[in-house]
Amino acid sequence: MLAQRQLESSAAFQKAILDYAGHAVISTDPDGIIQVFNPAAEALLGYRAEEMIGTQTPLVFYDPEEVRSRAEWPTSSRPNRSDVLAKILALYLKYSAQLADTITRAIAEKNAAALKDAAHSLKSRSATLGARRLAGLCQQLEQAGRTASLDGLDQILPLLTAAFADTCSAFQAELTKRAA
């Protein structure tokens, strides 16, 4: 019982530190999924903790120009740092297929909320990395989910599938080039 109270007290103290920190605090698990997103991060980035924790990677708020710029730095000028863009592209490839599958299921099941959420996430990730055609299609699907206007989306789905495949191919080619 005492150990439980001490654990609860410690957790409350940690939460208070994060909640009142003057700086954004964001942490991820080993797979890159956000686990901590404090109020300062919410204020800085415009996302709510509930929509980030356990579901998103930092891909949604990277500045594409900064990522490109840093990716072009010679590795020798950043000791002990691996290729940032390669890490981001690998995370995209690892987690975005699940979002595309969720979009497909949401359309088939006429699930507007799931469509809106998955399309929003895939849109953000794709736009951040410059996949504008895919992001544009996701934006249409996100809007359809927001308004629950789900009729006729089967026509957009093949376009989304092709754009997603093209995006993944381009990102995989970039990873292969960087590994060489």
Q: What is the pLDDT of residues 42-60, one digit of tens each?
A: 888 888 899 999 988 887 7
pTM of the model: 0.58
pLDDT value of position 81: 52
Please give the Cα distance from 175 to 134 (Å, whole number).
19
Residue identified by tokens 């103290």 is 13
Confidence of residue 8 (pLDDT cuts 50, 70, 90): confident
Q: What is the mean pLDDT of the chain?
A: 84
What are the DSSP calls for 7-21, one per residue? HHHHHHHHHHHHHH-
Cβ(127)–Cβ(168) below 8 Å: no
pLDDT value of position 71: 64
Q: What is the pLDDT of residues 119-152, one digit of tens each?
A: 999 988 888 888 889 989 999 999 999 999 999 8
Q: What is the pLDDT of residues 65-111, one digit of tens each?
A: 666 666 666 555 555 455 778 888 888 898 899 999 999 999 999 99
Two tokens, residue 73: 């730095």
pLDDT average, residue stretch 14-30? 82
Q: Decide which of 175 and 67 is more confident.
A: 175
pLDDT average, residue stretch 10-23? 79
Domains and CATH numbers, the chain: 2-56 (3.30.450.20), 64-179 (1.20.120.160)
Residue type, 12: A
Distance of CA 56 to the CA centre of its chain: 4
Phi, psi of 31 (to 5 degrees): -90, 0
Two tokens, residue 60: 């949604």
Q: Which residues pair with 28 in a beta bridge?
A: 34
Two tokens, residue 65: 């120009």
